[in-house]
Amino acid sequence: MAATPEKPVSAAPRRKASRHRGEGQWAVGHFTPLNGNEQFKKDDDGLNVRTRIETIYSKRGFDSIDPQDLRGRMRWWGLYTQRKPGIDGGKTAVLEPEELDDKYFMLRVRVDGGRLTTRQLRVIGEISEEFARGTADITDRQNIQYHWIRIEDVPEIWRRLEEVGLSTTEACGDTPRVIIGSPVAGIAEDEIIDGTPAIEEIHRRVIGNPAFSNLPRKFKSAVSGSPLLDVAHEINDVAFVGVEHPEHGPGFDLWVGGGLSTNPKIGQRLGAWVPLDEVPEVFEGVISIFRDYGYRRLRTRARLKFLLADWGTEKFRQVLQDEYLKRALVDGPAPEQPVAKWRDHVGVHRQQDGKFYVGFAPRVGRVDGATLTKIAEIAEAHGSGRLSTTVEQKMIVLDVDEDQVEPLTEALEALDLTVRPSTFRRGTMACTGIEFCKLAIVETKARGSQLIDELERRIPEFDEPLTININGCPNACARIQVADIGLKGQLMLNDQGEQVEGYQVHLGGALGLEAGFGRKVRGLKVTADELPDYVERVVRRFQDEREEGER
Ligand code: SF4
């Protein structure tokens, strides 16, 4: 692995450094680290920690890990320390990070494009059973996440993953994260264009490349040629969305600067049309702008959306064209409003080749190693060798012959993996929460699952699309701002004046061409115990008072 350069690589023309230390933008000569994160990244590239894990930490154990690696560079290989069991949410903000640390890790496996073979899924399942106490969650960025990983086992886990073409490289950290892709790319009947070759080429050029391994913060990306807009493109740093250009044919509409968490922003169109074979080059241009011009002084202002907010789309496109691509981009049209109510591909759908794909809904992304292995077996037993994960924490079996659809559906349903889920099962997502996450204040996964059961029992007839996203803290891992009902975990007082787990409610967020953020309902917080009553009231009122076509 190449050493971190003295001065970081920047493709932008060098300008004279201003005396003011500014925002820490490399492109204007500000290379002096302005905070601890920038310092440890300058001290040593996060990618280099792999060698230390393989040769030192995995042999000498958890206590041998350098603190800068433990809470910094390990993320470059998908590793985060997990929360010590039994520490309640009230302690999250008051304890030091090391007091919250368990001696186990969360390990994220990147699944670019969400695409898995049954062989890969079996290996994921086996690793879960052998090294992760059976845990394996499907994330809302198409990844798989393990818990209870011991540092001693990490090299063997990598060996097994890499043997089947999977990795944890840059699954976390200030890096190019997983490249989200349409889970039905190349097979959906209604597809505008298959973005898979672009995802593969971006991966080849960028992931694990030290030229892009020290970014100001995380960099999220998505490529989809589906008219369903099925990759949550609006909240990625860069996204390529399938469109038909009136003169040039199918290609991609370029979006930049989306992101949730602090100061959420919907991505913006640059008004440019990009043909398939130019997507990797344009991706490299955008990520290079982020590396070179991105703000590195404050972590809370370090995402691309803040640079875009200051520059505007016109300047952003100009800089991309003049300094990075050295040519003009072609103007292009915006994507059209999808006709389908849901964009998660759940259910049975015909493919281009006459076969079918079958999307199913686990509960809030929670599966386990044994279940994943069984899913792989079921897929194979019904003639399929491929699956995919979705950005809604769901899964899809691809390439199923028509006569196998019903038996496959029955086999999945027997595992509580439903192909015809209720609105509540289909539309509810939850982040990791207090079970494992050190930033969490409240429980999420188990509560999401209980909420689904309650709502299915109380309002079985409700079948309009509705999304309920549950976060365990003020961060945005489960996208609460863009849900119909977004629930942000916090502690609150109940009627008896006791401190209990609860949620701040956000209502009316959405993705799609009418994307927008939910409104924080002033003062509206619900305790965890009141949650089913509250959601039932909202749903019943919506049923009674909605106008034609209203979400
Ligand atoms: Fe952890 Fe908060 Fe993200 Fe949930 S939203 S996974 S609690 S950081």
pLDDT at position 15, please? 53
Distance (angstroms) between ligand 1 centre and the Cα of 303 equals 18
Task: Give the pair of three-digit tokens for residue 125.
Answer: 């399942």
Q: Which residues pair with 376 in a beta bridge?
A: none
Of the candidates 381, 377, 355, 390, the one whose C-alpha atom is nearest the C-alpha of residue 119 is 377
Distance CA 259, CA 222 (A): 12
pLDDT at position 321, please? 98
Of the candidates 472, 478, 481, 521, the one whose C-alpha atom is nearest the C-alpha of residue 501 is 472
Binning pLDDT at 50, 70 and 90, where does residue 202 land? very high
Distance (angstroms) between ligand 1 centre and the Cα of 476 equals 7
- The label of the residue with tokens 């015809």 reads 420
- Mean pLDDT over residues 540-544, rounded? 89
Distance (angstroms) between ligand 1 centre and the Cα of 340 equals 30
Distance CA 395, CA 365 (A): 9
CB 441 less than 6 A from any atom of ligand 1: no
CB 431 less than 6 A from any atom of ligand 1: yes
∠ at Cα 343 (339, 348), nearest 5°? 95
Give the atom of ligand 1 at the shortest distance from the alpha carbon of 432: 6
- Of all residues in the chain, the percent with pLDDT exceeding 90 is 84
The per-residue pLDDT for range 392-413, each reduced to its tens digit, is: 999 999 999 999 999 999 999 9
- Mean pLDDT over residues 241-263, rounded? 95
pLDDT at position 19, please? 45
Specify burial of residue 494 (Cβ count, 10 A radius: 0-12, 13-18, 19+).
middle
pLDDT surpasses 60 at 20: no
Distance (angstroms) between ligand 1 centre and the Cα of 434 equals 8
pLDDT at position 539, please? 93
CB 472 less than 6 A from any atom of ligand 1: yes
Distance (angstroms) between ligand 1 centre and the Cα of 503 equals 13
pLDDT surpasses 90 at 516: no
pLDDT at position 121, please? 98
Q: Which residues pair with 244 in a beta bridge?
A: 250
Distance CA 507, CA 505 (A): 6
Q: 390 and 315 in contact (C-beta within 8 Å)? A: no
pLDDT at position 3, please? 35
- Mean pLDDT over residues 203-232, rounded? 97
Distance (angstroms) between ligand 1 centre and the Cα of 145 equals 13
Distance (angstroms) between ligand 1 centre and the Cα of 433 equals 6
Q: How far is CA 217 from the centre of its chain?
A: 15
pLDDT at position 6, please? 44
What is the sign of the dihedral through the CA atoms of 520, 91, 298 and 323? negative
Distance CA 198, CA 183 (A): 14
pLDDT at position 32, please? 93
pLDDT at position 96, please? 84
pLDDT at position 549, please? 67
- Mean pLDDT over residues 526-550, rounded? 88
pLDDT at position 2, please? 34
Question: Which residue type is seen at 217?
Answer: R
- Mean pLDDT over residues 419-437, rounded? 95
The per-residue pLDDT for range 252-262, each reduced to its tens digit, is: 999 999 999 87
pLDDT at position 398, please? 98
pLDDT surpasses 90 at 198: yes
Give the atom of ligand 1 at the shortest distance from the alpha carbon of 472: 7
Least confident of 3-17, 458-472, 518-532: 3-17
Binning pLDDT at 50, 70 and 90, where does residue 476 land? confident
Edge-first strand listing for the sheet containing 468-471: 428-430, 468-471, 485-493, 499-507, 519-527
Q: Mutation test of ligand 1: which of 100, 475, 490 has the most ligand atoms closer than 8 Å to its C-beta? A: 475
The per-residue pLDDT for range 6-17, each reduced to its tens digit, is: 445 555 555 554
What is the sign of the dihedral through the CA atoms of 69, 71, 73 and 79? positive
pLDDT at position 376, please? 98
- Mean pLDDT over residues 3-26, rounded? 58
pLDDT surpasses 60 at 72: yes
Q: Mutation test of ligand 1: which of 447, 477, 481, 506 has the most ligand atoms closer than 8 Å to its C-beta? A: 477
Helix (H) or strand (E) holding 39: helix 36-43
CB 448 less than 6 A from any atom of ligand 1: no
Binning pLDDT at 50, 70 and 90, where does residue 517 land? confident
- Of all residues in the chain, the percent with pLDDT exceeding 70 is 95
Give the atom of ligand 1 at the shortest distance from the alpha carbon of 438: 1
Helix (H) or strand (E) holding 541: helix 531-545
pLDDT at position 7, please? 47
pLDDT surpasses 80 at 523: no
Q: Which residues pair with 256 in a beta bridge?
A: 238, 268
pLDDT surpasses 50 at 504: yes
CB 120 less than 6 A from any atom of ligand 1: no
Distance CA 434, CA 539 (A): 27
What's the chain's average pLDDT? Answer: 93
DSSP per residue, 394-423: -EEEEEE-HHHHHHHHHHHHHTT-BSS--H
CB 27 less than 6 A from any atom of ligand 1: no
DSSP per residue, 235-294: GSSEEEEEEEETTTEEEEEEEE--B-SSS-B--EEEEEEE-GGGHHHHHHHHHHHHHHHS
Q: 259 and 305 in contact (C-beta within 8 Å)? A: yes
Straight-line distance from the first to the last Cα atom of the chain, in angstroms, rounded to the nearest whole number = 51
pLDDT surpasses 90 at 441: yes
Say whether pTM exceeds 0.80.
yes
DSSP per residue, 102-142: EEEEEEEEB-GGGEEEHHHHHHHHHHHHHHSTTEEEE-TTS
pLDDT at position 5, please? 39
**Helix count (H) and strand count (E) of the chain?**
15, 21
pLDDT at position 11, please? 56
Q: 432 and 136 in contact (C-beta within 8 Å)? A: no
Distance (angstroms) between ligand 1 centre and the Cα of 490 equals 11
Edge-first strand listing for the sheet containing 330-331: 176-181, 219-224, 238-245, 249-256, 268-274, 330-331
Q: Mutation test of ligand 1: which of 80, 439, 470, 501 has the most ligand atoms closer than 8 Å to its C-beta? A: 439
Distance CA 13, CA 24 (A): 16
Question: How crowded is the C-beta side of 220, counted as CA atoms within 13 Å?
Answer: 23
- Can you list the positions of beta strands (E) in 122-237? 135-138, 144-149, 176-181, 219-224
Between 9 and 68, where is the model more confident?
Answer: 68
Of the candidates 424, 468, 469, 472, the one whose C-alpha atom is nearest the C-alpha of residue 444 is 472
CA 476 vs CA 121, 237, 486: distances in Å: 27, 15, 10
